Amino acid sequence: MASQQAVRLSLKKPTYAVCVVGVKTYVDVHSDVPKGAKTFGISWSSGVEIFMVYNPARVTEPTGQSHWPLDANVDVTVSVDTASKDLNDLKVKVSYFGQGEDDALGHSVLYLTGVDVSLDVDTGRQGKVKRSRGDKETWRWGPEGHGAILLVNCDRDSPRSRGLDLTSIQLTSLDDLKDMSPMVLTCNGPDRLFDTHKLVMKTPFSDSRRVGVFCARGGHSLSNYKQVLGPQHQSYEVERQPGERKISFYVEGLAFPDADFSGLVSLSVSLVDKTTLVEVLIFTDTVAFRVAPWIMTPNTQPPLELYVCSVMDIHGSNEKFLRDLSDLVSKANCKMTTCPRAENQNDRWIQDEIEFGYVEAPHKSFPVVFDSPRDRGLKDFSYKRILGPDFGYVTKEIPLAGASGLDSFGNLDVSPPVTVGGKEYPLGRILIGSSFPKSGGRRMAKVVYDFLKAQQVQAPVELYSDWLSVGHVDEFLSFVPTSDQKGFRLLLASPSVCLKLFQEKREEGHGEAAQFDGVQHQVKRSINEMLADGRLRRDSLHVQKCIDWNREVLKRELGLTERDIVDIPQLFYRQGPYAEAFFPNMVNMVVLGKHLGIPKPFGPIIHGRCCLEEKVRALLEPLGLHCTFIDDFLSYHKLLGEVHCGTNVRRQPFSFKWWHMVP
């Protein structure tokens, strides 16, 4: 809002002013007064409101024929409650009197033209624009908060478009308007007023590359929509047509929150008098928006669509693996999309290449795929095949050094909603692996980490994963949904639990039962041999210490207790300074609701059943989960895990609205 307008009255000639509906204008009744005047009275026409500002301790409000004193700091402000039909059709008259005199010593006349100017957006977050005279300039979090929301227009609604919709200054599809936030400019007043006054819409220079505004003019063809603000245009003189009272605009976000961008942008409209030598600003109305963050979805959210790649390697195609996944998807009642070899260039690791999330505003929500900087065979898949109508795309490029293994999105996970020491994280917390607590080592690229942190709604937690060869958090943890009050369990790989299980089986007389029994091209290892292998034991116990360090971080940062954690048996061995799974890593599973696709561990067979599978079933099935063990041995043991790393799941968004939280 502009500072309060002031109007100085004259005894010699009428004064003219423009008054914005609902905005008070200060009237100077003291500067030009008749000689001998001690008091004044005031009268006004219908449609005008007068406000007397004074100190009740010093001034008594006049009654009957008495008047207001001139020497007691009594100020006058006026406002109008509706737009004028004609110029100067509202009148205020000030009469001046001597002490105790009834006859006026002089008069000043003020003619007003009322104009209704207001810039309005969905400040109430109800999905529609409502007229507001309240606080539109600020944005506040929480269920009682206020402020409008923008979606980054990062999908591609027209098949004719080559890039994201946000890159085009021309509207390419009317459907694109649904991705934008509506904004309405009220500009009601006499047409002749706009011959001498103009309306100017602006955005700060720093915001101009982050927000775009389209003006709707006339009909419903694409040519009726014109971009008026954006990277190339920081201001726009509104083209008001005669008789026009409201003008519709559509606002799009052009960038997600990031290290150099809080997510807040503002737009303003100003009424300017252009008849003077130096244009005079009469009134400004400003609205604030926050760009909706990119939000990840945890395993506990219902699955909508599973993505997997069809590949061919020296062992043949992965057709059986695809069939097994198809059976699992059918049980989970979700969709399965297979990326053909021609599009994946024989790169099966779709979990590492992309991460699915979504954006949401009160009026619209759509999924957005985050394309990692990994950029191998699948580098073009998300842009060429996933990006489309109501399916957005975002990526971050790493300058100079290029991506490391920890920039792959197998190293990116998110917890279910948690409460930590009374602070709620209703959308969970992002989990990333790094070299912390070591100095040096591999870390996620700063540009990726900064982007994730800047979204504000899923505060990241750094875990220690640099002890692993690949270095991804998904190699030692996962989350599964449960139907109890907690709603989920954290699964952690556990060498100690595995060694204890094998010890128990040996004591039961099953020491000769062998790991990898029946697996071609793989040396069998009996329980006795594995327990006697000092190096395997040392390596696994070293890994257990690394996982235990993360266990304490996860308990502290996610507010978990031991009851919330399930230890999944798993052995590891070290290759130099880094560790790898000794058998297919069961925690590296795909979670489709209650249905779990778990890498088949090929553990020792006892009484016709794999003892590792039986242990996992005993741990998870009482929680209402269904375990399906899928053979990915060749792809896993040679290429490090296909059940999880070779799949990716798009999930249902949270029902909780991110703007209701307080970061």
Tell me what the mean pLDDT of segment 625-651 comes to: 81
Q: What is the pLDDT of residues 414-460, one digit of tens each?
A: 999 999 999 999 999 999 999 978 778 899 999 999 999 999 999 99
Burial of 517 (0-12, 13-18, 19+ CB in 10 A): middle
Residues 207, 179 contacting (CB under 8 angstroms): no
Edge to edge, the sheet with strand 565-569 lists 477-481, 488-494, 565-569
In the prediction, which pLDDT does 441 show? 87
Name the one residue in this structure whose structure tokens are 């908060």.
145
**More confident call, 152 vs 162:** 152
Please list the residues that pair with 134 across neighbouring strands.
none
In the prediction, which pLDDT does 641 show? 60
In the prediction, which pLDDT does 440 show? 83
- Distance, in Å, from the CA atom of 411 to the CA atom of 430, rounded to the nearest integer, reads 10
Two tokens, residue 240: 């008001």
**More confident call, 21 vs 220:** 21
- Distance, in Å, from the CA atom of 345 to the CA atom of 343, rounded to the nearest integer, reads 6
User: How far out from the chain centre does Cα 57 lie?
Assistant: 53
Two tokens, residue 614: 């039986």
- Distance, in Å, from the CA atom of 99 to the CA atom of 33, rounded to the nearest integer, reads 14
Residue 134 pLDDT > 90: no
Please list the residues that pair with 578 across neighbouring strands.
575
Task: Give the confidence band of 141 by pLDDT, cuts at 50, 70, 90.
Answer: very high
Residue 560 corresponds to which amino acid?
L
Q: Which residues contact 455 (CB under 8 A, 6 or more apart)?
A: 256, 257, 293, 294, 295
Task: Give the confidence band of 636 by pLDDT, cuts at 50, 70, 90.
Answer: very low
Please list the residues that pair with 423 across neighbouring strands.
420
Name the one residue in this structure whose structure tokens are 């008070």.
24
Q: ∠146-148-149 over CA atoms, to 5°?
A: 120
Q: In 274-350, where do the E strands start and end?
A: 280-291, 295-296, 303-309, 312-313, 316-317, 335-339
- Taken in order 319, 600, 597, 425, is the CA torsion positive or negative? negative
Residue 411 pLDDT > 90: yes
- Distance, in Å, from the CA atom of 348 to the CA atom of 647, rounded to the nearest integer, reads 8
In the prediction, which pLDDT does 15 show? 97
- Distance, in Å, from the CA atom of 45 to the CA atom of 424, rounded to the nearest integer, reads 56
Mean pLDDT across the chain? 94
In the prediction, which pLDDT does 634 show? 67
Tell me what the mean pLDDT of segment 643-658 comes to: 96
Least confident of 139-148, 179-188, 518-527: 518-527
Task: Give the confidence band of 521 by pLDDT, cuts at 50, 70, 90.
Answer: confident
Tell me what the mean pLDDT of segment 246-251 comes to: 97
In the prediction, which pLDDT does 100 show? 78
Name the one residue in this structure whose structure tokens are 């041999």.
529
Cis preceding-peptide flag for 437 (omega within 30 of 0): yes
Tell me what the mean pLDDT of segment 14-41 comes to: 95
Given 309, 334, 498, 645, the catalytic residue = 645
- Distance, in Å, from the CA atom of 515 to the CA atom of 584, rounded to the nearest integer, reads 11
Of the candidates 211, 190, 194, which has an alpha carbon nearest to the alpha carbon of residue 202? 211
Residue 80 pLDDT > 50: yes
Run of H or E residues at 504: helix 495-507
Residue 446: φ, ψ to 5°: -60, -40
| Alpha-helical runs (H) found in 222-302 | none
Two tokens, residue 587: 């925690």
pTM of the model: 0.94
Two tokens, residue 168: 């085009």
- Distance, in Å, from the CA atom of 237 to the CA atom of 247, rounded to the nearest integer, reads 13
Residue 639 pLDDT > 50: no
Residues 487, 481 contacting (CB under 8 angstroms): yes
In the prediction, which pLDDT does 1 show? 47
Residue 525 pLDDT > 80: yes
How many Cα atoms are found within 13 Å in the side-chain-facing hemisphere of 110? 28
Two tokens, residue 205: 């220079």
Q: What is the pLDDT of residues 279-335, one digit of tens each?
A: 999 999 999 999 999 999 999 999 999 999 999 987 788 999 999 999 999 999 999
Tell me what the mean pLDDT of segment 360-371 comes to: 98
Tell me what the mean pLDDT of segment 150-178 comes to: 94
Residue 89 pLDDT > 50: yes
- How many CB atoms sit inside 10 A of residue 228's CB? 18
Tell me what the mean pLDDT of segment 170-181 comes to: 94
Our answer to whether residue 645 is catalytic in this structure is: yes
DSSP code string of 24-41: -EEEE-SSS--TT--EEE
Residue 147 pLDDT > 50: yes
Tell me what the mean pLDDT of segment 234-257 comes to: 96
In the prediction, which pLDDT does 63 show? 85
Residue 564 pLDDT > 70: yes
